[in-house]
Amino acid sequence: MTVQHIHGGDIFGEAANLGLDCARILDYSANINPLGPPPAVFDAIQKNMEMIVNYPDPHCRDLSKSLCNYLHVKGKNVIFGNGVSELIYLLVRVLNCKRAVIPVPTFTEYGLAVVTAGGTIKEVPLAAEKNFSLEVDEIVSTISPADLVFICNPNNPTGNLYSRDEILYLLKECESKGAYLVVDEAFIDFVPDVKGYSVIPHVGTSSRLIMFYSLTKFFGMPGLRLGAMLGPSALIDEMTAAKDPWNVNLFAQVGGVAALKDVNHMQKTRELVTVEREYLYNNLAGLPGFKPYPGEANFLLVDIKNTGLTCAKLTQLMKQRGVLVRDCSSFDGLGNKHIRLAVKTREENRRLTAEFATVLEGAKI
Ligand SMILES: Cc1ncc(COP(=O)(O)O)c(C=O)c1O
């Protein structure tokens, strides 16, 4: 079986293709905090340079204390990984998942993890005409006999934020049908009222609730690779036994501790993303043939059907101008007429809009 992991953010590959230095690429294809990591992350890494002569802490003790304090959860309910991606694959293997339910379009690694482990997936389409809203009863009707139901909240790539009531309703149904509900909150910290949406208060209270928490997006450090899974302690124990003992490197551990302290950076990030998302949305809505969907995270999905261009063509034209945008044709359920754009700083968002205008003008839209 050939499995393709298609994602945005491949600036090294694209820079090599274009013959450009990475620093000259404007990357709108990966959804990372436009402010970058809190400055204390760089200090922590520098201060710990000489520690690389040691193995990293296999139990991530300091990091675990920091995350438990920050999220108000217990250490026995947390496991860390080399990004959430590692933990998705580990979870599927540990549970020996035979069948998973996945509303699409969504993050593609859930399906790939299940299929590469020999399981099957049942995709439940989210309809564009209904703004990709979650049809909970349709999902419920497909649960038996699933091992896992994956929900991404807010959803990548649509940006939809699902209510806690919808998620808790699904959890109840999963509990009664013997399935696990996996809620991936990789982008939830960008939501100003995060406490009104996150399932964290329910972690540990249900033997069927699993939650993913990534430090990649909101803390602006995808290159460090750091993510966590929260869930019932018995499952965390099984995953701990099955994982590589030193799966989280030393810099990720000290960087994570530093990042979780900087409340000011978190606040600034939420404010910037909220303002810039609206600015970008309005700019995109003003471009000929562009229809952005409203989103609640740090990215926007755009229907470009009325430009007459495919997303592959538009992506290519932008690439020639040194701008990477996410061609969404690899997301099941989207076809070849959608792109996804990160929300970045005002200056970058202005340049993106101008580049699109030039490309669309050249394509005579
Ligand atoms: C919804 C979602 N979950 C998880 C991940 C993986 O995050 P990490 O960098 O922590 O592996 C991504 C990355 O794009 C994502 O979009």
Q: What is the pLDDT of residues 231-261, one digit of tens each?
A: 999 999 999 999 999 999 999 999 999 999 9
Is there an atom of ligand 1 within 6 Å of 9 CB?
no
pLDDT value of residue 2? 61
CA distance 239 to 188: 24
Residue closest to 339 by CA, chosen among 131, 128, 133, 157: 157
Mean pLDDT of 52-67: 98
What number of CA atoms fall less than 13 Å from residue 222's CA on the CB side?
14
pLDDT (tens digit, 9 = 90+) per residue, 109-133?
999 999 999 999 999 999 999 999 9
How far away, in angstroms, is 357 Cα from ligand 1 center?
A: 30
CA distance 348 to 56: 37
Site to probe by mutation for ligand 1, drawn from 7, 29, 107, 328 as the one with most ligand atoms within 8 Å of Cβ, is 107
Mean pLDDT of 260-266: 97
Mean pLDDT of 270-277: 98
CA distance 344 to 359: 20
Is there an atom of ligand 1 within 6 Å of 227 CB?
yes
pLDDT value of residue 58? 97
How far away, in angstroms, is 288 Cα from ligand 1 center?
A: 31
Residues 99 and 123 sit within 8 Å (Cβ to Cβ): no
Average pLDDT, the chain: 96
Site to probe by mutation for ligand 1, drawn from 82, 212, 214 as the one with most ligand atoms within 8 Å of Cβ, is 214
Residue type, 128: A
CA distance 172 to 230: 18
Residue closest to 329 by CA, chosen among 313, 353, 317, 318: 313
Dihedral over alpha carbons 103, 76, 80, 108 (to 10 degrees): -10
Is there an atom of ligand 1 within 6 Å of 182 CB?
no
pLDDT value of residue 342? 98
- Ligand 1 atom nearest the C-alpha of 214 is 10
Is there an atom of ligand 1 within 6 Å of 315 CB?
no
Give me the residue label for tokens 């497909």. 142
pLDDT value of residue 16? 87
Whether the predicted pLDDT of 1 surpasses 60 = no
A 10 A CB-CB count for 145 gives: 10
pLDDT (tens digit, 9 = 90+) per residue, 201-223?
999 999 999 999 999 999 999 99
Give me the residue label for tokens 């959860």. 73
Mean pLDDT of 144-165: 96
In terms of pLDDT, which residue wins out, 25 or 341? 341
Is there an atom of ligand 1 within 6 Å of 185 CB?
no
Whether the predicted pLDDT of 146 surpasses 90 = no
- Ligand 1 atom nearest the C-alpha of 215 is 10
pLDDT value of residue 239? 98
Terminal CA-CA length for the chain: 40
Whether the predicted pLDDT of 318 surpasses 80 = yes
- Ligand 1 atom nearest the C-alpha of 187 is 1
pLDDT value of residue 9? 82
The 3-state secondary structure of the chain reads: CCCCCCCCCCHHHHHHHHCCCHHHCEECCCCCCCCCCCHHHHHHHHHCHHHHHCCCCCCCHHHHHHHHHHHCCCHHHEEEECCHHHHHHHHHHHCCCCEEEEEECCCCHHHHHHHHCCCEEEEEECCHHHCCCCCHHHHHCCCCCCCEEEEECCCCCCCCCCCHHHHHHHHHHHHHHCCEEEEECCCHHHCCCHHHCCCHHHECCECCEEEEEECCCCCCCCCCCCEEEECCHHHHHHHHHHCCCCCCCHHHHHHHHHHCCCHHHHHHHHHHHHHHHHHHHHHHHCCCCCEECCCCCCEEEEECHHHCCCHHHHHHHHHCCCEECEEHHHCCCCCCCEEEEECCCHHHHHHHHHHHHHHHHHCCC
- Could you give phi then psi for residue 228, rounded to 5 degrees? -140, 155
Whether the predicted pLDDT of 187 surpasses 80 = yes
pLDDT value of residue 365? 55
Whether the predicted pLDDT of 333 surpasses 70 = yes
CA distance 358 to 194: 37
- Ligand 1 atom nearest the C-alpha of 30 is 14
- Ligand 1 atom nearest the C-alpha of 155 is 1
Degrees to nearest 5, angle at CA 240 with 92 and 81:
70
Going by alpha carbons, the residue nearest to atom 3 of ligand 1 is 186
pLDDT value of residue 166? 96
In CATH terms, 39-259 corresponds, of 3.40.640.10, 1.10.274.10, 3.30.413.10, 3.40.50.10860, to 3.40.640.10
pLDDT value of residue 11? 86
In terms of pLDDT, which residue wins out, 300 or 17? 300
Residues 218 and 269 sit within 8 Å (Cβ to Cβ): yes
Residue closest to 341 by CA, chosen among 330, 350, 354, 352: 352
How far away, in angstroms, is 83 Cα from ligand 1 center?
A: 7
Give me the residue label for tokens 């193995």. 55
Whether the predicted pLDDT of 5 surpasses 90 = no
- Sorted by where each begins, the domain ranges of the chain are 11-30+263-362, 39-259
Is there an atom of ligand 1 within 6 Å of 184 CB?
yes
Is there an atom of ligand 1 within 6 Å of 206 CB?
no
Question: In the CATH hierarchy, which fold is given to the domain comprising 11-30+263-362?
Answer: Aspartate Aminotransferase, domain 1 (3.90.1150)
Whether the predicted pLDDT of 331 surpasses 80 = yes
Of the candidate ranges 216-225, 335-344, 356-365, the one whose mean pLDDT is the lowest: 356-365
A 10 A CB-CB count for 151 gives: 25
* Tokens found for residue 68: 């438990």
